[in-house]
Amino acid sequence: MAVTSLGICARTSSASLSLLSSLPRSPLRVSCYSPQLSPSPIDKTLTQIQNSGVIACLRANSAEQALKAARAALSGGISVLEIVMSTPGVFEVLQQLVQENPNPALGVGTVLNVEDAKNATNSGAKFLMSPATVKDIMVDVKCAEVLYIPGVMTPTEILSAYDTGAKIVKIQSENISPEEQQQLFYQMPYLIKMQSFKMISKKYINLQILQLCRASRL
């Protein structure tokens, strides 16, 4: 992409004006750049999650178990995989998986502080998840162009995460029935309809939950 750089001087002498007028004239070409033409890494990851429809969550007792389970999940068609922070050697596991599988969206879950967020990002994470909204992480990952998914439970927490800059939130719904969760979504229809903001549900998968997610456009 060719970009024309224009400089404007505050002071111009008569000699300079004479020199400029003697130069051959050529039509000015201006190149415009729109960020919408090239999606950011965050938007790409968000699209991957939306297209997948499922974020597989991996928690293991050892790095060896984590690698074995992750490889099996990825070879089986999982395209978005979260590795929980409590997994031993989580960053080394992530690095290895990213080297072997550069295309899937691999991330780290239960990230609670900026230090862990930085380590995960440096290890190749495309997204980070937390059980709550950690504003320091939200600010830090914007510079690193990594998608941050905070956990929420109430309309107040959803709105607070959105106001802080979240593009997507995770509904912590282990103890919420599908009916209660649907009511939660219905209370905020303007957010659900926004193309720039998404809500996902943390729930063990069954037919009822899948039907709820489809009905709520998650």
Q: How far apart are CA 174 and CA 178, in angstroms?
A: 10
86 CB-contact burial (10 Å; exposed 0-12 / middle 13-18 / buried 19+): exposed
Q: Which helix (H) or strand (E) holds 84?
A: strand 80-84
> Which one-letter amino acid corresponds to residue 81?
L
Q: How far apart are CA 37 and CA 31, in angstroms?
A: 13
Residues tagged active-site = 82, 170
Query: Structure pTM?
Result: 0.73
Tens of pLDDT, residue by residue over 129-138, are 999 999 999 9
Residue 171 has pLDDT above 50, yes or no: yes
Tens of pLDDT, residue by residue over 104-129, are 999 999 999 999 999 999 999 999 99
- Identify the pLDDT of residue 206: 57
Instruction: Report, as an integer, the average pLDDT of 193-197.
Output: 57
Q: What is the CA radius of gyration of the chain?
A: 23
- Identify the pLDDT of residue 13: 45
55 within 8 A of 80, measured Cβ to Cβ: yes
Q: Going from the N-terminus, what domains does the chain have, and what CATH number goes with each?
A: 42-215 (3.20.20.70)
Instruction: Report, as an integer, the average pLDDT of 193-209.
Output: 60
Instruction: Report, as an integer, the average pLDDT of 22-47.
Output: 65
Q: How far apart are CA 28 and CA 11, in angstroms?
A: 22
